[in-house]
Amino acid sequence: MQVVFKIVRQNQNSLPRVESYPLDVESSATILDCLNQIKWQQDGTLAFRKNCRNTICGSCSMRINGRSALACKENVGSEIARFSASSAAAPNQIPEITIAPMGNMPVIKDLVVDMQGFWANLKAVDPYVSTAARQVPEREFLQTPAERSQLDQTGNCIMCGACYSECNAREVNPEFVGPHALAKAYRMVADSRDDRTAARLEKYNQGTEGVWGCTRCYFCNSVCPMEVAPMDQIGKIKNEILARKDGQTGRSIRHRKVLIDLVKQGGWIDERQFGLQVVGNNLKDLKGLMSLVPLGLRMLSHGKLPAKFEPSEGAKQVRSLIESVQAFQTESKRL
């Protein structure tokens, strides 16, 4: 079949350009097969990373038709079908596949990006098991099969960078360590051999560089080729933090706890109470309270500040659902 590959190319510190390469390939050919064919037969200057060709090393991650994926995993036929379903291409038009470098990382050349920041952020979460405080001579730190199974999902991460490339939080907040780092961080939190769980949770709870910097866009989950589900792991760290902290610890934790409490009470959020309890810390944070005054005045002037709160009709059902989920989570931890 005839396919045109449109590849975004650029040199370091230069503007990108798009170059087109027509190919005659089988629909079963992987994107990496096609890039190899272009490099070997049409343009030897094309630069991209590759290694195992078997979805193991993560080297060939790049943006394929707008989403980060492994070039060795995606094939021409499925990619054309996926893209055609969401576009208005003419029936007889030669299909096109656009290849671009990953996002959130500076380009070195063509599809090769500088991953130093990616690795530095991974290092920042200390992704190594610590047993320094529990040294027992001539004895291993054994785990039960159940304890080991807690590490399976995060252990599948191949550090391809796809989640980091698509992370909205990382794009707007350079302090956020990224979903890859926090997925690895949860592996340490869940590891029964580690003796630094409390210290780790304190670290991951700080500001917006840790778990509270996540915007919950789910892009990291949608592009992960190994089904690590980084955002789910971030949520698990948040739950661990919330289980150990009370509402006075910080605004991020109050935000989560107050939101759940208010929805349980009324079925939806009483915004008046939400601001006072989260930002004003139940009238204990004067600076926070003062920051609410301009917003409150604007709401009053536009008739947007309700005099009373009306619970939703399904408040009892909502409360029952939340309590059921909380009971399930408590029981799961026991098991």
Please state, in angstroms and rounded to a whole number, the distance separating the CA atoms of residues 213 and 203. 13
First to last CA, the chain: 54
Class (C level, CATH) for 115-244: mainly alpha
Please state, in angstroms and rounded to a whole number, the distance separating the CA atoms of residues 153 and 173. 27
pLDDT band at 13 (very low <50, low <70, confident <90, very high): confident
Cβ pair 81, 89 in contact under 8 A: no
What are 30's strand-pairing partners?
Answer: 75
Please state, in angstroms and rounded to a whole number, the distance separating the CA atoms of residues 115 and 123. 13
The pLDDT assigned to 78 comes to 92
pLDDT at 184 over 70: yes
Residue from 91, 101, 90, 75 nearest 18 by CA? 101
Question: Taking the domains of the chain in order of start, what are their residue ranges?
Answer: 2-109, 115-244, 251-334
pLDDT band at 65 (very low <50, low <70, confident <90, very high): very high
Please state, in angstroms and rounded to a whole number, the distance separating the CA atoms of residues 217 and 179. 11
pLDDT tens per residue across span 135-153: 666 677 788 999 999 999 9
pLDDT band at 182 (very low <50, low <70, confident <90, very high): very high
Maximum distance among all Cα pairs of the chain, rounded to whole angstroms: 73
The pLDDT assigned to 206 comes to 85
Please state, in angstroms and rounded to a whole number, the distance separating the CA atoms of residues 170 and 164. 7
pLDDT tens per residue across span 225-238: 999 999 999 999 99
pTM: 0.79
Q: What percent of the chain has pLDDT over 90?
A: 61
The pLDDT assigned to 244 comes to 77
What are 19's strand-pairing partners?
Answer: 7
Q: What is the overall mean pLDDT for the chain?
A: 90
- Cα 91 to Cα 39, 85, 87, 95, 119: the distances in Å are 29, 12, 11, 9, 44
CATH topology for the 2-109 domain? Ubiquitin-like (UB roll) (3.10.20)
**Structure-token pair, residue 279:** 């930002």
What are 66's strand-pairing partners?
Answer: none
The pLDDT assigned to 234 comes to 96
